[in-house]
Amino acid sequence: MSDCDNSRGMNDSRYDGLFEPIQIGPVTARNRFYQVPHCNGLGHVFPKAEAAMRGIKAEGGWGVVSTQEVDIHPSTDVSPYIEGRLWDEKDMHRLALTVDAIHEHNSLAAIEITHNGHEATNRQSRLPLMAVSEMIPGANLDPVQAYKMTREDIANFRCWHRRAAIRARDIGFDIVYVYAAHSLSLLAHFLSRKFNNRTDEYGGSLENRVRLLREVLDDTHDAVGDRCGIALRLAVREFLGQDSLSEDEGRDVVEMLADLPDIWDVNISGWMHDSKSSRFSNEGDQESYIAFVKQITGKPVVGVGRFTSPETMVDQIRRGVLDMIGAARPSIADPFLPEKIRQGRLEDIRECIGCNICVSGDMTVSPIRCTQNPTMGEEYRKDWHPEQIAPKSSEDSILVIGAGPAGIEATMSLGKRGYRVVLAEASRHAGGRVVRESRLPGLSEWRRVVDYRLGQIQRMRNVEMYFESKLNKEQVLELADELKFQHILCATGSTWHAGGIGRTHRTPLDLDESVTSVTPDQIMDGQNISGSALVFDDDHYYMGGVIAEKLASCGCQVTLVTPEANVSAWTQNTLEQTFIEKRLHDLDVRLIEKHALISLRDQQAIIQHVVSQEQRTLLIHNLILVTAREPSQQLYFSLKDDPEAIQERGIHSVTRIGDCLAPSTIAAAVYAGHLYARNFDEPVNIDEVPYRREYTEI
């Protein structure tokens, strides 16, 4: 197998502090890199895939590797979401796969056992929801209410938690969590006045609200503390509105429990605040909330902050902010981040871009994916390794046309396999849509997708790159005569549709020329817009909202119209929707949901309510259509339509991938490029399932 050059820099002394061992109760982590619990859409349904993914993290140097949340009882069923499960001994063998995969590489295995209280759904178990207080759950719109736990229920919960901790120990886990964060766990609900209105010994004062957490910590220590480290995951501040856990109360909780856990895993709540995208947060942005913890406790502290810079990591430890560098998203983008830092191979790190596409896997009940790391979630299914790829199996060479995310990923990965690759790009720079979109507000870190791949390609002698080389069929055939390549890969991307075709309209809109009508491509190319502007967003991901933000920031009076009930509706899956909507409100963007643009005449835009069909008229000067994208596939079809010319030149295949085939996310384009490179020169049977499947036991 070909892999990255591991011979360079076996140790970089600048980062020695990150590789010192640290004691966590009765166990010792080999270094300061801690993959904190994170969801992945694999869990108990795909246990082999879960184990392979976590095992890769351990191989990549993470001293502690954690599961996602693991439900401990049928009363905390979160169906349809796919998390871990430890309801009884029948679940133990699935989790043992993960433990074994982590231990194979000398890392500690941590398990986050939890009960979700009113955040559960119980759609599968059909048990009534139980909660700290009587309430209507806010996590979903199921027509149910949760009942208030009695003292007997509390005693049962403690018993279930203790039993799960013992099972976790017997499976072989080294660290067992007590989970009180993200407003997703029952223990967090007891802490928060927002949810806890009890009048018994578990409600009222903070001391009473902490009581159950203290009891569960004691229970867990008593049950497994001689063998396992006990981690307390605590949100030291909630951003959940009135009566949520305040900064002062968070500090008081830490003071009350200072030395009870063996390690503190601290963050902020809810999940969308803890895992903000790069559009709304910077690296290390939680420091101001969690820095006090290490000043109170004598136990190790781990925290997160989408850390990508080794200097920032070392600085956090040197200044006494953290003892261990926690990461979820950076460990997804590059499972080998610790090992690359140790070897001083910083240029080989795939830095997280903070797009949160990884989160969307959990939210859409599907396996995890990553924009930077196309092998994420495919470790078992396709036997893909993030640092290893099979060497070439022929002397064939490839012409890649288009240096967008699909093209440069294919070029890089084919180059790593040892193939000769010629990359031709029409513009002056590589990157395609990534570079253009990275100039939009808040998306600058997305440029890392291009920077990493270009950095790798530029070190390859078997790859040639040509820019300002817009090719037509005749030029491609001339190149084939000259350069003698056997395969053509079209990765020519797509353009935004100028006629408004999209989800709502299957034919072009009725638009006159009374206003300036532009697409996102023209905005990204620098076209100036002044006066009033209507953004019609029928795409529902980030583009409509970010275009509206850009125009409003430049002084335009912006109205955003969308057929959906929320602005940028799909970004609920990336935890961004609330932040996007608030930013647009702050910029005085007028938001009109559940309406579609119907026509435009004499600067009068007719919009129609998607349910009532009632129409309204808006006076506008500029129209920006964020609807569908058109694949740029003319070159592909012109080549495919001339098979004789292709055959005469010894060309074996002409293929299209990425947005040129089916416009989608940047992550999908990168994946398409990687898939092409992995499968190149391999026989493909279209009648076979293209990955290894896991089957439910019968």
Q: What residues act catalytically?
A: 39, 179, 182, 274
Q: Are 476 and 399 in contact, with CB atoms under 8 Å apart?
A: yes
Cβ neighbors of 376 (< 8 A, separation 6 or more) are 53, 332, 335, 358, 368, 369, 370, 386
Instruction: Tell the burial category of 686 from Cβ atoms under 10 Å away from its Cβ (0-12, 13-18, 19+).
Output: exposed
- Indicate the helix (H) or strand (E) that contains 662: none
- For residues 636 and 419, what is the distance between their CA atoms, to the nearest angstrom? 22
Q: In the beta sheet, which residues pair with residue 420?
A: 397
Based on DSSP, count helices (H) and strands (E) in the chain, helices before strands.
23, 31
Structure tokens at 76: 């905390």
| Torsion from C-alpha of 251, 254, 255, 257, nearest 10 degrees | 160
Ramachandran sector of residue 30 (left: φ over 0; alpha: ψ -120 to 50; beta: rest): alpha
User: What angle, 0 to 180 degrees and rounded to 10, lies between the N-to-C axes of helices 405-417 and 666-679?
Assistant: 30
Strand partners, 265: 233, 302
Q: Residue 183: which residues within 8 A CB-CB, separation 6 or more? A: 119, 189, 192, 235, 238, 240, 244, 269, 270, 271
Residue 275 tokens, joined: 């895992």
The residue with tokens 């074994």 is: 100
On whether the CB atoms of residues 389 and 679 are closer than 8 A, the answer is: no
Query: Would you report the helix, strand and coil content of the chain in percent, each value rounded to 5?
Result: 35, 20, 45
Mapped to the 3 state alphabet, what secondary structure does 617-649 carry? Answer: EEECCEEEEECCEEECCHHHHHHHCCHHHHHHC
In 467-589, DSSP assigns E strands to: 487-490, 494-496, 510-511, 516-518, 532-537, 557-562
Q: Which amino acid is at 682?
A: E
What the block records as the tokens of 679 is 């499968």
φ/ψ of 116, rounded to 5, equals -90, -5
Radius of gyration of the chain (CA): 27
